[in-house]
Amino acid sequence: MNPVRKAQDVIRSMQQKQAERTELLGRLERSTALQAAFPGLFDHGRVKLRFSSTNHHEYPVDFKLTIVTGNGNVLALDLADYKDEPWVMAVKPKGADANRRFDYRRRT
C-alpha cells in the first residue's frame, strides 16, 4: 500500500474516532445533567427527549420538553420554569442557541 494513502487512512480513522468520542461525551454530559436534576430518571433504562416550541423559538423560554422514561412514564416540562437550571443548557437541542431563534431547517 502506498505510504501516503496509508497515512491518509490512519488520519481519517482517527478523525472518525474523535467524532464518535465527542458524540459519546455529549451524550454522557446530557445524561449526567438529567440524572442530577431528576434522580431515578434512568431507573428503567434509557429515556427519550422531545422538544417543542412556540413561534418565537428562543431557547429555553419558548420551549417545552417531554421526557419519556423506559417504563413509559411521561414528564412534560415547560423550560421557561427551569431557565436558570444548569441542566437546561446541557440538554439544548442542536441549533437552539440561547437568546437566538431556533430554525428547524438548520438542524441536522
pLDDT in tens, 23-49: 999 889 999 999 999 999 999 998 999
Q: Are strands 63-68 and 74-78 parallel, antiparallel or unpaired?
A: antiparallel
* Cα–Cα distance, 68 to 87 (Å, whole number): 17
At residue 97, the pLDDT reads 61
Structural domain count, the chain: 1
Q: Which domain holds residue 88?
A: 3-106
3-class SS of residue 4: helix
pLDDT bracket for residue 12 (50, 70, 90): very high
Grid coordinates of 79: 423550560
Grid coordinates of 51: 422538544
> What mean pLDDT is predicted for residues 51-65?
83
Grid coordinates of 94: 442542536
Per residue in 61-103, pLDDT tens?
Answer: 888 999 999 999 999 999 999 988 989 988 888 777 655 554 4
71 phi/psi in degrees, rounded to 5: -95, 10
